[in-house]
Amino acid sequence: MSESVCATKHSAAVPDRPELREALREIVDSGIAGVQLRVHDERGEWTGSAGVAERGGAAGPPLDGHVRIGSNTKTFTATVVLQLVAEGRIALDTPAADCLPAFGLDRRITVRMLLQHTSGVFNHTGELLEDGTVAPGIPSTIAGREWVENRFTSYRPEELVRLSLSKPARFEPGTGWSYSNTNYVLARLLIEKVTGRSCAKETQERILGPLGLSGTVVPGTSPEIPEPYAHAYYRYEDAGRQEIVDVTRHDPSWISAGGDMISTTRDLHTFISALTGGRLLPDPLLAEMRTPHAMSGFGLGLRVQEVGEDGATVLFHNGGAAGHAALMYSTPDGSRTLTAALNYVDDAAMSLAGAFHKAQERLVGEVFGGGRA
């Protein structure tokens, strides 16, 4: 995309970080339309951006623009669940069916399994099977034109769960690992059943309000995104022609608490540093959250990764949501963080997934791994 080559901008309030500016240029050159980056470490705070906010435009992405954070939402949802565990209102290793009897869940599925993706529940947004084929769910971003035409459809979380439970389980509960957005729709419903209030209200009162995350939104079925923001796009085939649609506005209820939230790089930094620094959960539950599953490196709403030659540990989540994506990384003590927002042209083939992962590895390597991914 010719519009992807744009000057890299950074905050002038702190010393320049040429290695980060170069990483941003490489990300844009790989096909990502725009990227915003925020780094907090022993050298202070550094912010920068590269690329464009809108196809065909000249303006770069806003340094702290709003972005659909995709599966970073799961970390917020898991935190609320674990706060309820800390209060003794639910327990990690009890059947989720005790709180959600209406769905006929397998009683071997525990609350822990939902948060760690070991329940075996089919993913309502579709499953990529071992043979490379896709088992479809609702129209999601792996569905091409069908998702575009249905992107303003509203879904109730209960119907997403029932669709999933109408499909064969991926494996017996607790015997495998498979990433399923439906696990976190169930976690949302569990929060609402236990508290008697919406997951959005609980997230606001337990996390967003206390941390002052004024740029973060739990949108429900609203297609709106607060300004400023960079635009998100989706590409699909129609009668042999390639169509590209601006999908910045869409109803995010198709992903629900598995990935519907909107935030900024500043708010994501505040959240992940508070979480890993012990401000949101007691130490025993934070330890549970960051204990990785042997098959996946996935804890309870957080992933665990070692980077660089010295094997430094980072805690993170990331996510993509129809042409928007966000990265969120922290050291275990919250003293060093990396948060980023990307805007790009998404499609059913996820053709920019390679560029997304390369961007992730390059930035993590620079900030946490001494320049080595």
CA gyration radius, the chain: 20
Selecting among 49, 71, 164, 178, the annotated active-site residue is 71
Residues 221, 250 contacting (CB under 8 angstroms): no
Burial of 190 (0-12, 13-18, 19+ CB in 10 A): buried
Position 199, amino acid = C
- How does 272-283 read in b/e, with b if 16+ C-beta sit within 10 Å? bbbbbbeebbee
Question: How many CA within 13 A on the CB side of residue 316?
Answer: 25
Position 335, amino acid = S
Give the closest residue to 236 by CA, choosing from 146, 323, 324, 152.
146
Q: Is 71 a catalytic residue?
A: yes
Residues 105, 122 contacting (CB under 8 angstroms): no
Residues 96, 111 contacting (CB under 8 angstroms): yes
Catalytic positions are 71
